[in-house]
Amino acid sequence: ILNVEQSPQSLHVQEGDSTNFTCSFPSSNFYALHWYRWETAKSPEALFVMTLNGDEKKKGRISATLNTKEGYSYLYIKGSQPEDSATYLCASRYGNKLVFGAGTILRVKS
């Protein structure tokens, strides 16, 4: 069974802090890496889909990088805001299947 690991499990930061999370995945047979944001009482929402080694994507204050050779991706949030509080999921695609990590819970205090 393929294993996708996310760290840390949870994170509490102050408003304005910058933060980052890690997603580790098996690098063999890799197709794509997805990041999702899951706010309480809402459905998970796609942030990024990355496929190429060295890919970097940005959406506002959130950015992500991908290293397919060593099997990791970083998600960065610059100047965290309370509305960034959510669970951040990464998932790695292998063929027709998307394998999810357990997520990183981010809480931003104002």
Q: Footprint of other proteins on this chain (CB under 8 A)?
A: 1, 4, 6, 31-32, 34, 36, 42-46, 49, 51, 89, 91, 93, 96-103
Q: Compute the distance between CA of residue 88 and CA of residue 7 in angstroms, rounded to an integer.
A: 10
**Residue with Cβ nearer other proteins (42 or 83):** 42
Q: How far is the CB of 43 from other proteins (least distance, A)?
A: 4
Q: How far is the CB of 6 from other proteins (least distance, A)?
A: 8
For residue 75, the cross-strand partners are: 21, 64
Q: Compute the distance between CA of residue 104 and CA of residue 99 in angstroms, rounded to an integer.
A: 15
**Residue with Cβ nearer other proteins (15 or 39):** 39
**Residue with Cβ nearer other proteins (103 or 108):** 103
Residue 61: both structure tokens together:
């204050």
Q: Compute the distance between CA of residue 94 and CA of residue 42 in angstroms, rounded to an integer.
A: 26
